[in-house]
Amino acid sequence: MYDKEKLDQLDKRKAKWEETTLHKSTSRFPERKEKFLTTSSEPIKRLYTPLDVPDLDYVRDLGFPGEYPYTRGVHATMHRGRPWTMRMFAGFGSAKETNARYQYLLEQGNMGLSVAFDLPTLMGYDSDAPEALGEFGKCGVAVSSLQDMELLFDGIPLEQVSTSMTINSPAAIIWAMYIAAAEKQGVSMAKLRGTLQNDILKEYIAQKEFIFPPEPSMRLVTDTIEFGANHLPQWNTISISGYHIREAGSTAAQELAFTLGDGLEYVRWALERGLDIDDFAPRLSLFFNSHNDFFEEIAKFRAARRIWAREMRETFGAKNPRSWLCRFHTQTAGASLTAQQPEINVVRVAIQALAAVIGGTQSLHTNSMDEALALPSEHAVTIALRTQQIIAEESGVTNTIDPLAGSFFVEHETNKIEKQVYDYWQQVEELGGVLPAIGQGFFQREIANAAYEYQRQIDAAGRGIVGVNKYADPEEKLRVPILEMDPDGYEWQVSRLNKLRQERDNEQVSQTLNALVRAAEGNDNTMPFILDAVRAYATLGEITDVFREVFGTYQEPNWI
């Protein structure tokens, strides 16, 4: 395609273009004075040619979708064969209120459910715990027991839907509640399809919703991987998440490096448990952010597939091609949404969603325009879902597979991000690995520095944000409806929880919790014991307190 002689000719042609055509153009239309940077503050050249893609063999043969290393997609037909799963993230107030939202979304064409939990649930507290005061239902749905989980999915046949649950420290407990709720519907765990986020490493790195120290937390994650491999063949027991890393302010390369690095650490722990990689790797999935920079995000997704495939096959020796697949969910960037002029967030979300689709995502959540103000209203979430449906049905981007392959700019960015990932991994390795790097604050400092630089550019007006530091409207009035939750929801929840504690078999609850204590103190897989406690209607707080007692809680070091 391009031998050395042709490259030399191309270099001369480029120099002549700069002297003649470009010079004439810039004399009439001078280039803008601001720096041209990606969202991650990486410089962008005015023009890309084969000279910017040094690995010419790679340019010559990108391969095909569905073939190793899957740069062009994990499935041969990608979205031309079937569209991505439209999985809208939802949860607020009580299980009853959120169930009504799920029923509505399914009626509107939503393909999968994705559960947002409130802060007490995320931190392993019951709704009436003193630590939970004032936080009921505010950032998601409150789930304190199997009773709540049953109500959350009342009337929704769990053998027919795919459910994702964004929960981390108490993930094993919430998963057990879902399994038990399905049993109440007569659905065996082998038939359940869905994803458990269960990514505790990114909590220490970015989101900070950890409860226990890293080592026992990793044991719980490994317990779920092992249990899922043995009993839930259709369930993704962990969704290795870069979303929250990016929301904390990382660059695209940092998001990819830290996320994939976390994923490989989970693989190491599962292998040390004695699992065969091909028994669990096919059920690992990933979760990425799709930010504003259209081409950078597409390149990130393409690099992710290639790196993951190589590491699974070459480093860990996976033989099953399904173990090599980087299957991922994407969510548009919540951090990019503005409280100012919230209606224009629809445009931001559409661009981000389009990048995710062209980048080859397997499922997608589109944020609602009002999320910088409150939890999404029914009106806003409908527009967010319709955005995906328009991309799928009207845009034409599903008509061909990987349409940007071979773009000099996209291939350059893909290669550059890939190199940056391996550079970060080298630094982590020099610090002793993922857990030691967390303990030394490496990831946290890298993200903080990137977030500071991004905000500094905004404050200096070097980076324009429409409606904030560009085209602001001083007369702006709020024109979007804001979600209102049931004002009596908290009292209703506490009343039900107290009644549950009175009417359940408390002797059985005590027995199951004591058995869980012994399992946690020993080396048994804790999942069967958690399931027994959940089936007896032990609460989330009671089960989490067992682990708090045995494992202790984690206080992040002060690195200053």
pLDDT tens, position by position, 228-258? 999 999 999 999 999 999 999 999 999 999 9
Is 12 within the bounds of a domain? no
Q: Indicate the pLDDT class of residue 477, thresholds 50, 70 and 90.
A: confident
- Cβ atoms within 10 Å of 537's Cβ, excluding its own: 21
Q: What was the pLDDT predicted at 386?
A: 96
Nearest to 145 by CA among 95, 91, 89, 209: 95
- Name which of 22-26, 105-109, 181-185, 445-449 the model is least confident about: 22-26
Q: What was the pLDDT predicted at 29?
A: 67
Which segment, 27-31, 103-107, 145-149, is predicted with the most confidence on average? 145-149
Whether the per-residue pLDDT at 469 is higher than 60: the answer is: yes
Is 464 within the bounds of a domain? no
Q: What was the pLDDT predicted at 11?
A: 81
Whether the per-residue pLDDT at 560 is higher than 60: the answer is: no
Burial class (CB in 10 A: 0-12, 13-18, 19+), 210: buried
Average pLDDT over residues 39-58: 76
What b/e readout covers 232-250, taking b as 16+ CB neighbours within 10 angstroms?
A: beebbbbbbbbbbbbbbbb
Which range marks the domain in which residue 361 is found? 78-459
Is 26 within the bounds of a domain? no
Q: What was the pLDDT predicted at 397?
A: 92
pLDDT digits (tens, 9 = 90+) for 262-278: 999 999 999 999 999 99
Q: How far is CA 330 from the centre of its chain?
A: 6
Whether the per-residue pLDDT at 433 is higher than 80: the answer is: yes
Q: What was the pLDDT predicted at 357?
A: 97
Q: What was the pLDDT predicted at 296?
A: 97
Show the tokens assigned to 416: 């550059």
Show the tokens assigned to 55: 């690995």
Q: Indicate the pLDDT class of residue 434, thresholds 50, 70 and 90.
A: very high
**In which element (H, E) is residue 435 found?**
helix 434-439
Is 151 within the bounds of a domain? yes
- Phi, psi torsion values for 487, nearest 5 degrees: -65, -20
Q: Beta strand pairing status for 363-365 and 85-90?
A: parallel
Residue of higher predicted confidence among 314 and 375 = 314
Q: Indicate the pLDDT class of residue 485, thresholds 50, 70 and 90.
A: confident
Q: What was the pLDDT predicted at 334?
A: 96
* Rounded-to-10 torsion of CA 286, 291, 295, 297: -10
pLDDT digits (tens, 9 = 90+) for 54-73: 665 555 568 889 999 999 99
Residue of higher predicted confidence among 112 and 524 = 524
Is 87 within the bounds of a domain? yes
Is 258 within the bounds of a domain? yes
Whether the per-residue pLDDT at 216 is higher than 60: the answer is: yes
% the chain with pLDDT above 70: 97
Q: Which stretches within 76-213 are classed as H helix? A: 78-81, 95-107, 119-122, 146-152, 171-184, 201-202
Is the bond preceding 376 in cis, omega lying within 30 degrees of 0?
A: no
Q: What was the pLDDT predicted at 558?
A: 82
- Rounded to an integer, what distance in angstroms lies between the CA atom of residue 231 and that of residue 258? 30
Q: What was the pLDDT predicted at 483?
A: 85
Whether the per-residue pLDDT at 1 is higher than 80: the answer is: no
Q: What was the pLDDT predicted at 54?
A: 62
Whole-number average pLDDT of the chain: 93
Burial class (CB in 10 A: 0-12, 13-18, 19+), 528: middle
Q: Beta strand pairing status for 235-236 and 193-196?
A: parallel
Residues 6+ apart with CB under 8 A from 10: 2, 49, 50, 51
Q: Are 311 and 59 in contact (CB under 8 A)?
A: no
Taking every pair of C-alpha atoms in the chain, what is the biggest distance, in angstroms? Answer: 87
Q: Which residues face 332 on adjacent strands?
A: 290
pTM of the model: 0.92
- CA atoms within 13 A of residue 30's CA, in its CB half-sphere: 3
The number of distinct structural domains making up the chain is 1
- Rounded to an integer, what distance in angstroms lies between the CA atom of residue 497 and that of residue 495? 5
Altogether, the residues listed in the chain come to a count of: 560
- The CATH number of residue 170's host domain is 3.20.20.240
Q: What was the pLDDT predicted at 302?
A: 97
What b/e readout covers 480-519, taking b as 16+ CB neighbours within 10 angstroms?
A: eeebebeeebbeebeebbeebbeebeeeebeebbebbeeb
Helix, coil or strand: residue 163? strand
Percent helix / strand / coil, the chain, rounded to 5 = 55, 10, 40
Nearest to 381 by CA among 289, 242, 486, 481: 481
Is 40 within the bounds of a domain? no
Q: Are 330 and 289 in contact (CB under 8 A)?
A: yes
- Phi, psi torsion values for 124, nearest 5 degrees: 80, 25
pLDDT digits (tens, 9 = 90+) for 4-18: 787 788 788 878 877
* Long-range contacts of 425-433, Cβ-Cβ distance < 8 Å, separation of 24 or more: 425/257, 425/261, 428/261, 433/265
Is 359 within the bounds of a domain? yes
Residue of higher predicted confidence among 558 and 157 = 157
* Rounded-to-10 torsion of CA 151, 152, 158, 160: 120
- Name which of 158-162, 444-448, 459-463, 538-542 the model is least confident about: 459-463
pLDDT digits (tens, 9 = 90+) for 127-168: 999 999 999 999 999 999 999 999 999 999 999 999 999 999
- Rounded to an integer, what distance in angstroms lies between the CA atom of residue 444 and that of residue 441? 5
- Rounded to an integer, what distance in angstroms lies between the CA atom of residue 464 and that of residue 431? 37
Nearest to 252 by CA among 181, 365, 336: 336
Residue of higher predicted confidence among 271 and 90 = 271
Q: Which residues face 88 on adjacent strands?
A: 113
| Crossing angle of the two packed helices 527-535 and 540-551, in degrees rounded to 10 | 150
